[in-house]
Amino acid sequence: MADIYGKGAKGKATRLHAQIIRALGFCQSCGSSHSLQCAHIVSRKYARTRTSLDNAFCLCASCHRRFTDNPVEFGKFTLEQLGVTAYDALMVERNRIDKMDWEEEVVRLSEIWKGM
């Protein structure tokens, strides 16, 4: 089975990010506590926001699928949850081109995970 998180420090940081997001314990759309997933606002392909805690919602599998299939609805939900200012800040971060230090990100996320 393929590792959906990736390899090395980048994969470890991605896995930790997902664990932290899912630890919320309920879907931020419907309130369900079943089949929780980490749903990214900005695609994981953008390194600078890939593991940002501001770049994901905890969603149940059903809501995650619904939003994936209905991006306009997801956009409205995102703006309602974050507000325009936070969304705009996320877009600025997404566009940064400096190199991501994945080892440092693993340390940062590990500290957050241990403190939960």
Query: What digits encode the pLDDT tens for the residues 51-94?
Result: 999 999 999 999 999 999 999 999 999 999 999 999 999 999 99
Model confidence at 115: pLDDT above 50: yes
Q: What is the pLDDT of residue 1?
A: 37
Distance CA 43, CA 1 (A): 22
Q: Torsions phi, psi of 16, nearest 5?
A: -60, -45
Q: Where are the domains of the chain?
A: 12-107
**Paired residues of 39 in beta bridges:** 57
Confidence band of 6 (pLDDT split at 50, 70, 90): confident
